[in-house]
Structures are given as C-alpha cells and as structure tokens.
Structure 1
Amino acid sequence: MTIVFHASGRPNPAIDWKRPLGGVGLAAALLLTGAPIADVVADTPNSGVGGPGGLASHRTLYEFSLAESGARGGLESISGTMSAEWSHDCEGWTIAQTVDMVLYDRMGGAIEIASTYATWEAFDGSSFSFRLAQDSDVTGSQTLRGTATRRDGNDGGEGRVAVEYRSPTEGSETLPAGIIFPVAHTVELIERAAAGEPFYAATVFDGTEMDWEQKGSAFDISATVSAAGLQAGPETGSETDERIDDSLREAEAWRIVLAHFSSDAELMSPEFQTTMRLFGNGVADRLALDYGDFVVDATLTELERLPEPSCEG
C-alpha cells in the first residue's frame, strides 16, 4: 500500500513522512475515480497479450484503526478508509488506490492523509507505468510519474529494467535483471504458497520512491507463508454483510507476512511489515500494517466482484 498525504498540525517525529506509509504488499488496482488512468495507460508501450494470472477483478474498501502504538509512535487513534481496485484489459493489469486517513496523537494534534496511486502492468512483465501524487505541509506537492521497460537479449539488456521518469524531474535509471513488478509479485507469491513453499524473497519495483536517486527505487520483500488454521469465507461467528461478496473468499487462503526492506538498506530489520490473509484469487483481508512504533489494522468492509473483459479474437 502506498499512502500519499496532505498533512496538517504537528507531524509525528517518529514517522519518516518522506516515505510512503505502506508498500507494494497491498498492490491495489486502477480505474478508480481520481486516478489519472488515461494518462497512465497512454504512457505505456504496447506489450504482448498474456493472461490475468488467475487473479479476480475486484473492488475493496478497508477501514483503518489503531491496533497498538508504542511510546515513540505517540498515537492515540487512527481513522479512515482505503479503497482499492484490481482490473485488467486484454494486455495487462491496472491498479488504483485511494486513501483517506487521520492520525490523532496523544497531545491533541491530528495529521490528515489522502493518497492516489495508479499503475498499469503488462501480463508478460515487459512494461510498467506508474503515477504517484503527494501534497503535504511536510514534503510539499510532488508527483512521481514514469514508465519501466524490460529489455530483451536483442538489445543487450539481458532482462534489465530501464526506468524513465517524467516528473517531478526527467531522469532515468537501469535496474538489474530479476526485478519484478507488483502484480507479478502477487501472482508468484500465490503460486509458491499453493505449492507449499514457506518462504519467498523478491526485489520489486513499484514506482513509489520520490528520492530514487538517493535511496534506490526498488524494495526487497521477504514473504513468510503459513496456512495453519486458516479458513475460507467470512470471520467465524460474523454476520452476513451484503456489502461483501463472500464468493470471492471461497478460494484457498494463506497467512502472509511481508517484510519490506529498501534495496540499498544495510539494516537487517525491515522498514515495515504487512500481514494479511491472501486468497488464491488475489483478494486480501485481515490486514495489519506494522511500522515498528505503531500498528494499523485495515478491516475489509466492502468487496465487489468486477466484470472480466472479453479478450477473444
């Protein structure tokens, strides 16, 4: 999950506001109101037609609450929502996410957070377009926008990824072969979980690092997988909610813990961790975002199946 924000009041010194609160562990899809989808798709080079990797097109809404906060976290409570959508055309996945969050500290201050994040990712992993917008009293207004293209052996790239940034300033970088994009990471994680593998490590580029020239633009993500005690469907003893399509929670599921590290980090501890119940169709619930000094719960309150496009012919 990537959180982009407008901040007011006194920023919590325990939080690095120059980093998005979240990460690629919650890749959430495009076509959402407020995200510049047309611009993103227009930036993306043509790619070969592939398949959706078994993921279901769907829309979700999560409600935030504060699970715990240590002395350095300094938070009294958290409120807000995250809406996310996975969808696809006949060549790739679109991802969009919006976040509205308010963090209340123990001294009576509050920080309001709002975000938009949009991507398009080719099924075959050949290209990826991204747009991340930020506007806050802490970092000012920023927009990160660009495309990433995987080179083939014909141009000597040997699978390396060429990233072209269009804003906030024009620039470029080349990432090593082996780096994958967010939806490909989700598909691979599900395949490995289904095969019974308990651990999966990958380096992922998601287009969310504003300071990519100084900090590096990719995340190293280590996933721990467990199926112990998990059940498909709603929570035990919970009432039926017409806002949640539980047919999307009938697939096999696993408890996933994603530990996120900056690719240039020397520390052994992750920047943050995401815990979730992940279904084989890509739906996620029971989310917890652990930033070390505080933990945020994201409870699924709405889940809707979206129509799949007809791509025959």
Structure 2
Amino acid sequence: MPSASSTRLVVTALLLGASALPAMAIQLSPHRATYAVSLDASKSGTRINGAEGRIVYEMRGSACDGYSVQLRQDTALATEGGRVNSEVTTATWEDGEGKSYRFRVTNRVNGETSEEADGVAERKEGDLTVMATKPEERTLALGKNILLPTQHVLRLIRSAESGEAVLEAPVFDGSPDARKVYDTLAVIGRETRDAKGLEDAATAGDLAGRPRFPVTISYYERGGSSETPDYVISFDMFDNGVSRKLTLDYGEFALNGTLISYEALAKEDCAK
C-alpha cells in the first residue's frame, strides 16, 4: 500500500493491558489468506483513477511459541500523474505474552525504498522499549499499556465475544519508522453467521459457519492535534483471527480487499 503503516490490516491486520490472556481464552488459527485489491469507487473526490493488486497474509505459531506474521501487499495505482507501484512487506514475531516483538517493515514505491523499519521491542515491568536499527539506531521508551499487534487482535476478539461495541487501545507495530504509537478506536458490530454474500473462500474449511463481527478501526498518531484519523481500516473478523471484506481508507482514497483464497495451516500443540 502507499504507506507502510497500512500493514496494520488485521494486521491489522487485522486487540487494554499488557498481561497474558487467560488460558484457552482464544485460539488463533494459523493460516494464509490472499486478497484482491481494488479501488473503492464509493470514495468521492479522489485523484486516483484506478487500483489493482494483491495482499498475501500469513500467520503461524501459537501462544506457547509466539506468533509470526508475514505480509506482502503489491498495489498499482492509476493517478492523474501516471502509474504508481507500491510494495509493502512486513515480517514480525511476537511472543505469546506480548513481552517481546521483532519487526521488519519495508515500503517501496516504483522500486525505490521510501520507508524502512527494523528493530525489537521488549516489555519489562509493563514498560515497552524499542531498540531500532532502521531507519536509524536508537532506543526509545514508549511507556505502559501499549498493545502489540497480536495482543490487539486477541483483545478485539475478546471484546467482540463479550458484546462490547467500542475498544480504545494504543498500539505499536513498528511501522512506518520504528517509533510511532497509534491511539486506536475500534467500533465492533454484532455477531453474525449468515453466509449470504460470502466469498467461496470464506465458507470452506474451518471458516464454514464460524461467527464473525464487523469491525472498523480508526488510527490516530499519538500526540497529534488532528481529530481526523490518519487512516481507517474496516473488515469482517472471524473469531479465529481471520479477516475478510477489507476496506483501507486513507482519506483521499480507499482500497478494497476481497478474500480470494484461504488456507488453514498446521496448528502447533499448545496447552495455553
């Protein structure tokens, strides 16, 4: 996508508190999902004439051994000034208790690297500290009660299953510069199991008949003065962490992501 920070799709990519979740509370499903990217034609006033591309999201691991996520998004935008090709790649690992996080994010535009972040985040006595090597070497104390990406996903699912309609949480995922914390506001809709209108990929295997919840998350850069979010992500969230029906809204334009394939990956033995 045009900005590396958009990797939060479920990533967004797709979660307050930094402690471990209760045993067996939520089981995330290791999986590989592919989404076809297109321009959201309902967004008016855009200078983008068209968009096409693909998102491939892969999550492996467990609460015992930690969660690894690899994401790649390739997007071609037809603009008034010509074609713009964007490639975002993200590789992360997060331990099951949210105490350690490794991230690497790269954003290339027309083949040139425009943003790059690399580093490790560690939580000690509740405080999250980042040791970054890119875009420059530095150590930054972010503070307490900041969620990591998988923690955020787990907290979203827990809130949805509890019937909570709103979740506010600060989140750090490393993009775009290894230092930004985003204050997030999630609005969660009611559970549904209705299969009407679902893609074929969302009705097969372990997704068949699963409950899901419509979720909209607004991201605000911490410390910013604007009341308008930097961007907004909407999606349908299954109770195992899989997402469908993505909308990535950047203000001037928005992209849709349609689930075109889904593969459940091997689960690891874990007593948690």
Question: Cα gap change, 1:93/1:205 in structure 2, threshold over 3 Å: closer, same or farther?
Answer: same
Deviation at 1:301, TM superposition (A): 0.1
| 1:113 has 2:86 as partner | yes
| 1:219 has 2:179 as partner | no
Question: Cα gap change, 1:231/1:198 in structure 2, threshold over 3 Å: closer, same or farther?
Answer: same
Which deviations, in whole Å up to 9, do the C-alpha atoms of 1:9-46 show, x marking residues without a partner?
Answer: xxxxxxxx6x42524242179xxxxxxxxxxxxxxxxx
Deviation at 1:66, TM superposition (A): 0.7
Q: In structure 2, what is the Cα distance between the partners aligned to 1:206 and 1:197? A: 24
TM-score by length of 2: 0.87
Deviation at 1:309, TM superposition (A): 1.7
1:278 to 226, 231, 237: 237
TM-score by length of 1: 0.76
Q: In structure 1, what is the Cα distance between the partners aligned to 2:47 and 2:156? A: 34
1:235 to 187, 197, 215: 197
2:31 aligned residue: 58
2:150 aligned residue: 183
Deviation at 1:168, TM superposition (A): 2.8
Q: In the TM superposition, what are the counterparts of 1:225-304 in structure 2 within 5 Å?
A: 225-227=188-190, 230-233=192-195, 235=197, 240=200, 245-304=204-263
Q: Is the 8 A contact 1:248 1:305 kept in 2?
A: no
Bigger relative contact order, structure 1 or 2 (CA pairs below 8 A, ≥6 apart): 2
Question: Cα gap change, 1:113/1:234 in structure 2, threshold over 3 Å: closer, same or farther?
Answer: farther
Q: Is the 8 A contact 1:232 1:249 kept in 2?
A: no
Q: In structure 1, what is the Cα distance between the partners aligned to 2:85 and 2:110? A: 10
Q: In structure 1, what is the Cα distance between the partners aligned to 2:181 and 2:143? A: 10
Which deviations, in whole Å up to 9, do the C-alpha atoms of 1:53-89 show, x marking residues without a partner?
Answer: 4111111000011113433x31111001000011115
Indicate the SS of the match to 1:22: helix
Q: Is the 8 A contact 2:31 2:262 kept in 1?
A: yes
Indicate the SS of the match to 2:225: coil
2:170 aligned residue: 203
1:27 aligned residue: 11
User: Which structure dedicates a bigger proportion of its chain to strand?
Assistant: 2
Q: State the aligned residue count.
A: 261
Deviation at 1:133, TM superposition (A): 1.7
Q: Which runs of 5+ in 1 are unaligned?
A: 4-16, 30-49, 153-158
Q: In the TM superposition, what are the counterparts of 1:98-109 in structure 2 within 5 Å?
A: 98-106=72-80, 109=82
Residue 262 of structure 2 aligns to which amino acid in structure 1? L
Indicate the SS of the match to 1:26: strand
Q: In the TM superposition, what are the counterparts of 1:163-182 in structure 2 within 5 Å?
A: 163-182=130-149
Q: Is the 8 A contact 2:233 2:247 kept in 1?
A: yes
Residue 231 of structure 1 aligns to which amino acid in structure 2? R
Which deviations, in whole Å up to 9, do the C-alpha atoms of 1:221-269 show, x marking residues without a partner?
Answer: 10001117x3344626x6x46x973432422111101011111211111
Percent identical among aligned pairs is 25
Q: In the TM superposition, what are the counterparts of 1:134-173 in structure 2 within 5 Å?
A: 134-136=107-109, 140=113, 142-152=115-125, 159-173=126-140
Q: In structure 1, what is the Cα distance between the partners aligned to 2:182 and 2:12? A: 17
1:91 to 29, 47, 65: 65
Q: Is the 8 A contact 2:215 2:236 kept in 1?
A: yes
Deviation at 1:52, TM superposition (A): 8.9
Q: Which runs of 5+ in 2 are unaligned?
A: 14-22
Indicate the SS of the match to 1:187: helix
